[in-house]
Amino acid sequence: MTIKQGDKLPDVTLTKTTPDGPEKVQSADYFAGKKIALFSVPGAFTPTCSAKHLPGFVDKADELKSKGVDEIACTAVNDPFVMQAWCDRDGSESITMLADGNADFAEALGLTMDGSGFGLGKRGQRWSMIVDDGTVTELNVEDPGAFEKSSAEHMLGQL
């Protein structure tokens, strides 16, 4: 079943990247008591993800936070070391990277895709959501190959 607006996020283990190394976090604990702008990319360092998706949230971080967002987080089916390297290269301190290396979170959300045609295997779809105290208040799932409604600009219009 695919997650929808009004649903609580599933409780799974994610890996938060930090300059000191990976840190395991439970999604129920991580999203509790905060308003988080969360977005998912099919893969770190992939073309649209690196050229548009992550940079859009980096550029709009202050605006999102001025509209009541406590934190901005990015998730992908990548290991935490790749996510940290991507953040070091293209991200900022304003974006928290949450590695979903085994796709547990993407599967629990019902938002996986098959990237085998590109040699990527099972991945998370491209989407964004606003999560308020663990509950999805806005959900923007892209059609395959699209990048419109999961952008930071679209999210700003929802806040």
User: Which positions are annotated as active-site residues?
Assistant: 49
* Interacting residues of 60 by C-beta distance below 8 A, sequence separation 6+: 152, 153, 155, 156
Closest CA to 150 of 49, 67, 31, 71: 49
User: Residue 35 pairs with which residues in a beta bridge?
Assistant: 132
Do 107 and 9 meet the contact criterion of CB atoms below 8 Å apart?
no
Tell me whether strands 35-40 and 71-76 are parallel, antiparallel or unpaired: parallel
Query: What is the C-alpha to C-alpha distance for residues 101 and 136, in angstroms, rounded to an integer?
Result: 22
